[in-house]
Amino acid sequence: MSYDVQYGQKLISGEKAAGLVKSGDRMLYAGFLLEPVFIDGLIAKRVEKKELTDVELLSMCYPGFCMAAAADPKAEHIRYTNAFFSPGDRILHEMGTCSHVPSLFSEIPSYFDFNEPFDILYLRTAPIDANGFFNFGIATTFIRRLIDNSKKVVIETNDTMPYCLGGLGENVHISEVDYVVESDNAQILVTTPAPANDTEKIIADILLKEINDGACLQLGIGGMPNALGALIAKSGLKDLGIHTEMIVDSIVDMYEAGCITNQKKNIYKGKIAYTFGFGTQKLYDFVNMNPACASYPVDLINNPGIISQIDNFISINNAIETDLYGQVSSESKGFKQISGSGGQWDFVHGAYHSKGGKSFICMTSTYDDKEGKTHSRIVPYFTPGTPVTVTRTMTQYVVTEFGIAQLKGKSTWERAEALIDIAHPDFQDELVKKAEEMNIWRPTNKKD
């Protein structure tokens, strides 16, 4: 049977797609830019009419606001859970309509092996191609595993989704799909890179000195990675490689400046390897049909065993706080869930075990709360309820605008003093006092 005939037989309206959900169903949204925004809005209308009860919805990092969950503010009809919070998910969590799924990004595909298949999967893709495939665009992540573990697969196509070439698992064939919906083709989420402040620029300058020609980089999201990318683009560094869970605009800047060749990489040589991305239209245009880029499943990109095989791997990630033992929190402040573990643990572990590799946890030394009060990000201990993202035994380098603290192989007092040295001076005396109260021993013969 031709692809056109199959497509015609499986093509349905958005309303009919939304009507496939039944009370008691376990439902999946694909996550990131593959969230089925068009169908989600139609499911939300059914929720508002109280047509559904006891529905479970699982997703990851909804780019905007999950309308089906928002339509049920008392969570009486839909139980919405999410493995990594977007700003919209964070709001729903504060409202009590979203729960968090603690997870390591690299392991998420395996979680589906422990559960019964989900009743229905909704995902957004690029339109069908000449060979009968729907491309997952800029979010390959773990979509193939979702498809393999769902009883029904419903696609909504969107012609603003870039067609991203990959190395594995970046497409699904029409023969594997149950239904197709042609959406309203609303523009996929375009995000403007966060501008770096002066402090983040200082941190970026410190990190630049740690990168050599031929290094392979993983950059997180935010102002500091953007600042670092801008510095690298002007630095004259050569033969850099990219192996990162998230592709961002700063990588495009470095590539266009001639810094990135990917020729020194041990694995996926010649390719900017990634598993998802968010950014400006410039980024989406860059990845579209670009053979310099390759999208892979997250259990390959974030696999610490694979990362460790890439020589001179440099992992750079942000954090919310670090305590005096060297524990890192990057996902929550007390009981306030902000994001998730994501792939930070994966890259911290993998980079340290890379030949010549380094793992950096970066943060400004202070932040201001809503009332304008300044707080230290280096704290004696975490607020109750704060989860540890990276354990003290794993943390290698912590960076603030005041320098770098290397923690591997150091005692508790050496760690504490190294961290206090890069804390903001206004908080150092109090941190020393707390360290003594906590019985983190400080040698009496060490000079202040």
pLDDT at 446 exceeding the cut of 60: no
Confidence of residue 114 (pLDDT cuts 50, 70, 90): confident
User: Letter for the amino acid at 413?
Assistant: W
Taking CA atoms, 67 is separated from 47, 71, 339, in Å, by 9, 6, 19
CATH class of 3-182: alpha beta
Tell me the pTM: 0.94
SS3 state at 247: strand
Confidence of residue 340 (pLDDT cuts 50, 70, 90): confident
Nearest CA to 69 among 87, 96, 51, 49? 96
Of residues 296 and 195, which shows the higher confidence score? 296
Domain 198-437 belongs to what topology? Answer: Glutaconate Coenzyme A-transferase (3.40.1080)
Model confidence pLDDT, tens digit, residues 218-239: 987 778 888 898 899 999 999 9
Average pLDDT for 56-83: 93
Q: Which single residue is written with the structure tokens 């030394």?
A: 365
Confidence of residue 334 (pLDDT cuts 50, 70, 90): confident
Model confidence pLDDT, tens digit, residues 163-172: 999 989 999 9
Model confidence pLDDT, tens digit, residues 176-191: 999 999 999 999 999 8
Q: Where are the alpha helices (DSSP H) in 63-104?
A: 67-70, 87-95
Taking CA atoms, 109 is separated from 146, 149, 224, in Å, by 8, 10, 30
Average pLDDT for 119-133: 97
pLDDT at 14: 97
Asked if the domains at 3-182 and 198-437 fall in one CATH topology, the answer is: yes
Model confidence pLDDT, tens digit, residues 8-40: 999 999 999 999 999 999 999 999 999 999 999
SS3 state at 390: strand
Report domain extents, the chain: 3-182, 198-437
**Catalytic residue numbers?**
245
pLDDT at 442: 65
pLDDT at 441: 65
Average pLDDT for 368-382: 95
